[in-house]
Amino acid sequence: MKKRILFFLFLPSFLFSLNFTVASYNPENLFDFQSDGTEYKEFIPNSLYWDKKAFSNKINNTSKVINDLNADIIVLQEIENKNVLLELMKRLKYQYYLFNKKQKSAIGLAILSKFPIVKNEIIIVGSKEDLERNILKTTIQIQQKNFIVYANHWRSKRASESNRIKYALVLQNYLKYNQADDYIIVGDLNSNYDEFTTFKYEKTLNDTYGITGINQILNTVIKGNFVTKEDIHSYHQESIHFNPWLELPKEERFSLQFRGENGTPDNIILSKNLFDRTNFSYKENSFRVFKAPYLFTKKGVIQRWNKKKKNGFSDHLPILATFTTDIVFIDSLKKKDSINSKNIEDNSITSLGQLYEISTLNKPVVMKNLLVTYKSNNIIVFKGVNGDRSIQYYNKDNINNFQLGYRYDVEIYEIDDYFGTKEIKKLKILSTKDYVKNIQDHYFDGSTKDLKNLKYQNEVVKNIRGVYLKKYLHYRSSKGKEKIRLYFRKGIEKPTDGVSLVVESGILSSYRSKIQIVINKLEDYKVYQKK
């Protein structure tokens, strides 16, 4: 018996690895029921929207989400003060906590942990009077090793991007002197994982010439392409990071819905040391969004707090990721990663489909036998060969060089993402090839396909019949009754409400997370029955 015990005691330590989860959650303004003069107006105790019933529902609903998450470490944003945090903790199973906010601020940051917090530091952002919230650095001891969490809550998009860059610059400058740490950057950054592509057309946000805090300053993007798990150690820049939002399918990338648009303001950003297979390691593909059914309405919309009904949850969904103390050898890192997150070398791009997986071309690529399936005054649609995808080319000065129904070899210099729709911005014709008679054979039959599937973006669609009402086409599919937005280009006559029409050659596109059919010319649709 003693021999067995001794043998057990001297087993290698890596057999006793520990998995633990880290979460981030913005419960949307968790206030207490005591007045201290810094509350937002709607959370003043005993007011119209904030009474004992509202407070009770809010704190109980928040604790339900956190308990169901069952994370070992959680970063919370929009917590009013230490008192409400302690009240919340009465309903939770966390032993260790930290809280911080500026004196005149209404809300602050908190960290809850099931592991000992051995050190904390406040990283100052702005002056005491500024609206910027400080960054909370927390050192958590797990199996005698230090795991570093940088808790963040950046300025909202009521402010321009330069205000969020302040956080990124302060953090990146700090990280220069802490390169050896195993750390994560967690919280509501009010920045999408692909912010550099989504904000550049927003004049009120883009005061930084296209530079964003989350992407170019924190180095989650290098030379216009995302840093991936395979190549994170190949860069020589300081403080390179991987954003695991890239691991999820595009249609699942959201933790917030604002005016019908999906967003990813909540982030868990990973340092390169979490991929060196020592101390702590990130568990590949463990990043996820917590989507319990009760967090959504019957219509599938996030069930945020309703001040009138005094019930609900938050406008944010929690996010989680798993880490391990083991020395992890991730076999799949030796293989090709999923198409969602890998960088594709420019010289290996041979299909239009591959263009959808990158953000920027570092050098021109040649595409052969692209068929022009659609043409209007300033837009054409190319269709690739052998089942390849379609893509728009938007450049009104060069459209007349292309003829409908012909194939072309082209050299592509620039691509872009216009509010969610991929397009070519600059190219050169290398040669004109053969003419294809029946281009409609290459159209997408909308009566048999799922129009909401993003993989059909930029396809020319036909044979969609329905009733036009309040900007939407109401039609039947195999799923039953559905509707899709019809967007008419400026100058195109719109049908009147109540008419029956058929779309004969519209372009299926994505705009701010909404699928729509774009009508560029009158021939794209036909009214076959008036109201």
Cβ–Cβ under 8 Å, residues 125 and 134: yes
273 and 351: one domain?
no
Distances (CA, A) of 149 to 130, 279, 514: 23, 15, 35
Cβ–Cβ under 8 Å, residues 80 and 108: yes
145 and 267: one domain?
yes
55 and 153: one domain?
yes
The pLDDT value given to residue 318 = 98
117 and 188: one domain?
yes
List beta partners, residue 462: 445
Is residue 367, in this structure, part of any structural domain at all? yes
Contacts of 284 (CB under 8 A, 6+ apart): 229, 247, 330, 332, 333
504 and 429: one domain?
no
**Whole-angstrom distance, CA of residue 386 vs CA of residue 29:** 52
Domain stop point among 271, 303, 334: 334
403 and 523: one domain?
no
Amino acid, single-letter form, for residue 211: I
**Whole-angstrom distance, CA of residue 148 vs CA of residue 323:** 12
Cβ–Cβ under 8 Å, residues 374 and 408: no
135 and 177: one domain?
yes
460 and 418: one domain?
no
Please give the model's pTM, rounded to 2 decimal places.
0.82
Report the candidate in 356, 341, 203 with the shortest Cα–Cα distance to residue 284: 341
Is residue 13, in this structure, part of any structural domain at all? no
Range of the structural domain that residue 107 is part of: 21-334
Is residue 2, in this structure, part of any structural domain at all? no
Helix, strand or coil, per DSSP, at residue 9: helix
Q: What is the CATH number of the domain that holds 277?
A: 3.60.10.10
Domain stop point among 419, 440, 461: 440
The pLDDT value given to residue 330 = 41
Measure the CA angle with vertex 138, ends 132 and 144; round to 5°: 170
Question: For the CA atoms of the chain, what is the radius of gyration?
Answer: 26
Q: Which two structure tokens, joined as six digits, stand for 172? A: 């990146």
Distance of CA 278 to the CA centre of its chain: 29
The pLDDT value given to residue 179 = 78
Distance of CA 288 to the CA centre of its chain: 12
372 and 232: one domain?
no
User: How many domains does one find in the chain?
Assistant: 3
188 and 267: one domain?
yes
Strands 390-394, 525-529: parallel, antiparallel or unpaired by DSSP? unpaired
Cβ–Cβ under 8 Å, residues 114 and 93: yes
Is residue 210, in this structure, part of any structural domain at all? yes
Distance of CA 255 to the CA centre of its chain: 7
516 and 435: one domain?
no
For residue 529, give the H/E element and its range.
strand 525-529
Q: Which two structure tokens, joined as six digits, stand for 415? A: 């691509």
Is residue 116, in this structure, part of any structural domain at all? yes
Q: What is the CATH number of the domain that holds 510?
A: 2.40.50
Is residue 9, in this structure, part of any structural domain at all? no
Is residue 90, in this structure, part of any structural domain at all? yes
Q: What is the CATH number of the domain that holds 355?
A: 2.40.50.200
The pLDDT value given to residue 340 = 42
Domain stop point among 406, 440, 474: 440
Over 86-101, what HEC string results? HHHHCCCCCCEEEEEC
Is residue 454, in this structure, part of any structural domain at all? yes
250 and 394: one domain?
no
Q: What is the pLDDT along the chain (531 residues), one digit of tens a residue?
A: 444 444 334 444 444 679 999 999 999 999 999 998 899 999 999 999 999 999 999 999 999 999 999 999 999 999 999 999 999 999 999 999 999 999 889 999 999 999 999 999 999 998 766 778 999 999 999 999 999 999 999 999 999 999 999 999 999 999 988 878 899 999 999 999 999 998 888 889 999 999 999 999 999 999 899 999 989 998 887 799 999 999 999 889 999 998 888 999 999 999 999 998 889 999 999 999 999 999 999 989 999 999 999 999 999 999 999 999 965 444 444 433 333 445 566 667 889 999 988 888 888 999 999 999 999 988 999 999 998 999 999 887 788 899 999 999 999 999 998 888 899 999 999 999 999 999 999 998 888 888 888 888 999 999 999 999 999 999 988 778 899 999 999 999 999 999 999 999 999 998 887 899 999 999 999 998 765
